[in-house]
A and B are shown apart, each in its own frame.
Chain A
């Protein structure tokens, strides 16, 4: 047992301070207001304070921190994307994640387990090779592997998938990891708070005040706040915020569902994804299988669960792991995801001066938490988006310069 825990046993009073202050009433004005107290918003606040000394910042969260997609995703972190701009961006995120527990002084359970994207068809194999080639080019460890290597890493997997969709190979991505998702939000909240950022839960933005094309304030359920800089980091709610400033975006909202099994002793060491079977699965440190599927097929703005989702997902899980037939699903849930036409985020400046977007994260927002926070902080502080996120600018749609991630999305996650 690590010595760090001794104080908890020896001290009479619980020797740990609050992660962040309990605040209810925002001040009249801030240098920047961040809408959304999820991982992204809190990370942006943290880096604004840490990298740029901008600490007069309010994070406004309409529910509780980390209660949106930060707390609803299947916690996978990876960078094996298809386009060089995508790979570079997510690789920067992976590198930040690797040191994040130490930086935030909180164990995020960042666990590098290796990530296999299974291919069941020749065309999927082609895409795997495409991604591997681009990854290698950029310096990210990904390669195409055959069934033997998959079996070695996960001997329990039925390579024949019960005869339904035999596995031909996979894209193996060694840095693929999982992390304790809630803790990422808590860690950023804790450190942002320590640096002077003010976090308000149960505080909902009801309007954004724009005068002559510039942001001048926000209306909230706790009153009006003056500010010249507003960041929207509200996956699942982006269109409601962009409507407040009359900005058009391609973002539509589709639910994304997931479920967990009962805890069992560890056996699945890797992260497995199958695009053809619409499955991603890993085993948490609690022993639960965390399982997800593709986005729901139509727009819904609620976190209701559907039976179709869990029926479809489990039918594929038994194809991959026939012995799980009697293992039980404990709980299913849903999040609301921003969906873009090219399966890449929308980040950076907008036509409204002082209004910045961190949106369009689809199913891949969690893995980008540190780098999106870092780059959005830079964008806000300097009013210039860094090169790393230029490919994700909103104007790319008007310019017909969509990113090429579309090709990999069907086998993504």
Chain B
């Protein structure tokens, strides 16, 4: 059976391109341009899905991207919205959330249990006894949810696009098109978006049997297309409104982030269903859905139907249905007043009877419950919402079109902070106070007459232009009054219920009444208890009726009930679209490629990549072998590490020394040119946050290093304090501009000496000395350091020369067996030297006293950051102290790990291990631990508990650890 009718002017399908697809095992014919729902409906298929809770058969309802009972899977993707998703040739579809197919769904029995599943039923049971809850929960979880996710769905991320415009117009119906044209005429750049495949809004379907509005649309569209200032994007929705007029426009191909100077919201309205028993049967649909089927897809919604309405729109729908040969049995008008004279006459002239002051008391399901066979029509009392069942009439039909009113598509307005007010003339919430730069036009603004909507669009554009500084004449106009477009209470009470308000969540009128009885009688609590509006359509067809029902329960005017907040997104939006192309930037040092070529195992160190160790291809080294070999090379001969990631900041100016004195804990004012000092930084609370080295290159020039991970933050804090302290200081961040490498080990002097004109002899360049000169022909800064070894040289050269100098040093060290070493060996080497690492051995609360760094703190200075807090801390007893420790020489048990706890004699936590390594050079396990101060002196014993719970004895000892060799007589 086909419901497809003869070709219609303006239809959206391409009859030259027929296609075939499968639905629930059945072959279906459609055309290019069809949505899944339109094609299925054209083929006489009425059951498009099962409902979320009761598994009731559902058909087409809104046909406007909120038919969330008609969700499909094509085997790849899930929760595909059939009402808007285009069909393609060969696709194979199934309805989601069924067990055994959409027709035979085994879960449909739940519908019969519904009387026992009152609103919020799950709060009232399943928890006694407690142990039974997991059983019930498993059942509930399995019953809940919609589609099944395909775990093999490909990673599909869409890069974001960006666009800017003067005016963003959302919605390309009569008011939006008019607004766009008027704004463009003022010379403003306009982006006009519409979620439909084609622009036009109701101009493309709400004909009332007369296609003259199509002419209006055609005229407006040709103007828009010809206008250079307007960019029209269809098949795209505005996902949300964010501050400063940021609106993501979501297309199938991805998101465009539009930053507009102003926004005109012309998003129109959502049609709202009247509420009567079995208003959810397949074949019962909204009037606008029926119109769209007819005019866009040339599909008859049903053969013989009735229209139930509580406004004039039902009459228009009836005329549209009749115009394509649907046998419209009657228009059932819930209003006793009926429609306007002309419209009523037109309907009557089409041979349709009109029943004023009547309602559908209930729709009667066909024998298989998969469709509708008749409706029961009764006189209706608008005041009490009761039907007079003593005077019922049965009308047989296979479909119902329903119109009761509209709710504004005002999500963007709410998100922008618009204050809405209830307008009794149109029985709708309308904007009362708009935020700056945001304007509303058309039906969302409560303007319904077609001519008035166009004028309203122009008015909004003029206001936007004026807001943007254009000299425009602002004219006010009065919208032509229309017959009340929405009914204040389109609800029909029924003792047996199943009069659905929320089709996403299967919520009926009595659920609201009962929720209120239990105390959930304000809109937010009611929403949370009943879950109205919380389904995937986010209340687009249900929130307004819910508010009306609650208002009646509370006997309050609708505006006193208020509305719930409309959060982004306007429609559910794919995670891959939102996430977009992720950026995971890394920084490479000048020697990066060399490391990779030489087997460097590259690890992330903040934004940098650094070699943890080198395992050259073919060398067959394990990580720990590599680390021990690299360490031994430094201890016995020479090694070199790429230290380019260190923060490197130059501090110039007459106040440079004074600045460092205030910034760091130590003294710098009296520091000699050519010397270096440790620079420890605290926060205001006295917590250690960084340590580096400050070199005085000249009287008014310091070169300061920071820990790799702190380079950006230390530089930033320096900048802030220069401004705050108003000091004559200039800062230059050379972190990326300079490469650095450390040559370390007994033979390091020989290696460096062979390549430099600097006198690096012991006499000329003692510990901490700093010199500039040439290294391998390149201007270099060279420092005697002792972080990893007693004898070591840190060489800084411009980034571009980094690789050259590195290679030259490797070449020069060849004879000495030089080895590159990575961060793992560096960790061990500094541990052997007894140097702790800030934020590895210390944490977010460690002060210098606890870190054993008193010697770096010049408390006698007038000021440094954190000093005043140290003066307070100084007076308090110390709770813990960082100490170096060693395990017993013959230790062979389970080695403690970093962060294993130190346990005292009362089995309480006394501290923790912060570093521990096996040193091959010393043949001992050595480390750092926080211990009570009384256990921090050399020789004190304490217990460490391993992962498995074993207790290991450790001995505090002094650093560096090389005295351990002496004690062994080596």
Q: Do residues B569 and A323 form an inter-chain contact, with CB atoms below 8 A?
A: no
A126 and B842 CA atoms in complex are apart in Å by 13
Closest to A260 in B: B534
- Write the nearest CB–CB distance from B889 to chain A, whole angstroms: 26
Q: Do residues A16 and B517 form an inter-chain contact, with CB atoms below 8 A?
A: yes
A408 and B567 CA atoms in complex are apart in Å by 32
- Write the nearest CB–CB distance from B116 to chain A, whole angstroms: 4
Please indicate the chain A residues that have their CB under 8 angstroms from the CB of B118 in the complex.
5, 8, 14, 16
Interface majority SS on B: helix, strand, loop or mixed?
loop
A36 and B888 CA atoms in complex are apart in Å by 58
**Which residues of chain B from 109 to 145 have any CB-CB distance to chain A below 8 Å in the complex?**
113, 115-118, 121-128, 130, 133-134, 136-137, 140-142, 144-145
**Which residues of chain A from 187 to 240 have any CB-CB distance to chain B below 8 Å in the complex?**
201
Q: Do residues B519 and A19 form an inter-chain contact, with CB atoms below 8 A?
A: yes
Q: Is B580 an interface residue (CB 8 A)?
A: yes
Q: Do residues A326 and B909 form an inter-chain contact, with CB atoms below 8 A?
A: no
**Which residues of chain B from 139 to 195 have any CB-CB distance to chain A below 8 Å in the complex?**
140-142, 144-157, 160
Q: Do residues A326 and B575 form an inter-chain contact, with CB atoms below 8 A?
A: yes
Q: Is B573 an interface residue (CB 8 A)?
A: yes
Q: Is B353 an interface residue (CB 8 A)?
A: no
Interface residues of chain A, those whose CB is within 8 Å of chain B, are 1-2, 4-6, 8-9, 14, 16-22, 63-67, 71, 84, 98-99, 101-102, 106-111, 121-123, 126-127, 129-130, 133-134, 137, 144, 156, 162, 164-165, 180, 182-183, 186, 201, 261-267, 285-287, 304-307, 310-311, 314-319, 322-333, 341-342, 400, 402, 404, 406-407
A108, A180, A328: the one contacting B572 at CB < 8 Å is A328
- Write the nearest CB–CB distance from A136 to chain B, whole angstroms: 8
Q: Do residues B536 and A310 form an inter-chain contact, with CB atoms below 8 A?
A: no
Closest to B139 in A: A1
Q: Do residues B575 and A317 form an inter-chain contact, with CB atoms below 8 A?
A: yes
A63 and B123 CA atoms in complex are apart in Å by 23
Please indicate the chain B residues that have their CB under 8 angstroms from the CB of A264 in the complex.
78-79, 145-149
- Write the nearest CB–CB distance from A162 to chain B, whole angstroms: 6
Q: A8-B116, A264-B147, A323-B150 are in contact. List 10 more A-B contacts (CB 8 A).
A: A19-B520, A20-B519, A21-B519, A98-B130, A99-B130, A263-B535, A265-B97, A322-B155, A329-B574, A404-B843
A17, A126, A201, A316: the one contacting B899 at CB < 8 Å is A126
Please indicate the chain A residues that have their CB under 8 angstroms from the CB of B127 in the complex.
101-102, 106-108
Q: Do residues A101 and B152 form an inter-chain contact, with CB atoms below 8 A?
A: no
Please indicate the chain B residues that have their CB under 8 angstroms from the CB of A144 in the complex.
947
Known: A307-B248, A326-B153, A400-B876. A262 touches B137 (CB 8 A): no
A286 and B140 CA atoms in complex are apart in Å by 8
Please indicate the chain A residues that have their CB under 8 angstroms from the CB of B22 in the complex.
none
- Write the nearest CB–CB distance from A167 to chain B, whole angstroms: 13
A-B CB proximity, top 10 nearest: A287-B145, A325-B576, A322-B155, A328-B572, A315-B579, A9-B115, A406-B844, A314-B579, A130-B899, A9-B116
Q: Do residues A265 and B575 form an inter-chain contact, with CB atoms below 8 A?
A: no
Please indicate the chain A residues that have their CB under 8 angstroms from the CB of B582 in the complex.
164, 315-316, 318-319
**Which residues of chain B from 515 to 530 have any CB-CB distance to chain A below 8 Å in the complex?**
517-522, 524-525, 528-529
A162 and B582 CA atoms in complex are apart in Å by 11
A137 and B79 CA atoms in complex are apart in Å by 47
Q: Do residues B899 and A400 form an inter-chain contact, with CB atoms below 8 A?
A: no
Q: Do residues B122 and A330 form an inter-chain contact, with CB atoms below 8 A?
A: no
A194 and B802 CA atoms in complex are apart in Å by 76
Please indicate the chain A residues that have their CB under 8 angstroms from the CB of B869 in the complex.
400
Please indicate the chain B residues that have their CB under 8 angstroms from the CB of A63 in the complex.
524
A18, A121, A311: the one contacting B578 at CB < 8 Å is A311
Please indicate the chain A residues that have their CB under 8 angstroms from the CB of B487 in the complex.
none
Q: Do residues B79 and A325 form an inter-chain contact, with CB atoms below 8 A?
A: no
Please indicate the chain B residues that have their CB under 8 angstroms from the CB of A162 in the complex.
155
B154, B242, B538, B584: the one contacting A164 at CB < 8 Å is B584
Known: A121-B604, A162-B155, A332-B569. A16 touches B124 (CB 8 A): yes
Interface residues of chain B, those whose CB is within 8 Å of chain A, are 52, 77-79, 97, 113, 115-118, 121-128, 130, 133-134, 136-137, 140-142, 144-157, 160, 240, 242-243, 246, 248, 257, 415, 510, 513-514, 517-522, 524-525, 528-529, 535-536, 538, 567-569, 572-576, 578-580, 582, 584, 603-604, 685-686, 840, 843-845, 869, 872-873, 876, 897-901, 909, 912, 945, 947
Q: Do residues A64 and B522 form an inter-chain contact, with CB atoms below 8 A?
A: yes
Known: A183-B123, A306-B242. A329 touches B569 (CB 8 A): yes
Q: Do residues A330 and B147 form an inter-chain contact, with CB atoms below 8 A?
A: no
Please indicate the chain B residues that have their CB under 8 angstroms from the CB of A8 in the complex.
115-118, 121
Please indicate the chain A residues that have their CB under 8 angstroms from the CB of B604 in the complex.
121
A314 and B574 CA atoms in complex are apart in Å by 9
Question: What are 15 residue pairs bridging A and B, where the CB atoms are less than 8 Å apart in the complex?
Answer: A5-B118, A5-B125, A14-B517, A129-B947, A180-B123, A261-B575, A265-B145, A317-B579, A322-B153, A324-B149, A327-B575, A329-B569, A330-B569, A342-B845, A404-B844
A22 and B520 CA atoms in complex are apart in Å by 10
- Write the nearest CB–CB distance from A301 to chain B, whole angstroms: 14
- Write the nearest CB–CB distance from B910 to chain A, whole angstroms: 11
Q: Do residues B573 and A201 form an inter-chain contact, with CB atoms below 8 A?
A: no
Closest to A319 in B: B582
Q: Do residues B133 and A287 form an inter-chain contact, with CB atoms below 8 A?
A: no
Known: A318-B155, A326-B575, A331-B538. A16 touches B514 (CB 8 A): yes
A162 and B575 CA atoms in complex are apart in Å by 15
Closest to B146 in A: A263
Q: Do residues A263 and B145 form an inter-chain contact, with CB atoms below 8 A?
A: yes
A323 and B52 CA atoms in complex are apart in Å by 23
- Write the nearest CB–CB distance from A12 to chain B, whole angstroms: 9
Closest to B118 in A: A8
B52, B524, B584, B898: the one contacting A64 at CB < 8 Å is B524
Q: Do residues A133 and B125 form an inter-chain contact, with CB atoms below 8 A?
A: no
Q: Do residues A4 and B146 form an inter-chain contact, with CB atoms below 8 A?
A: no
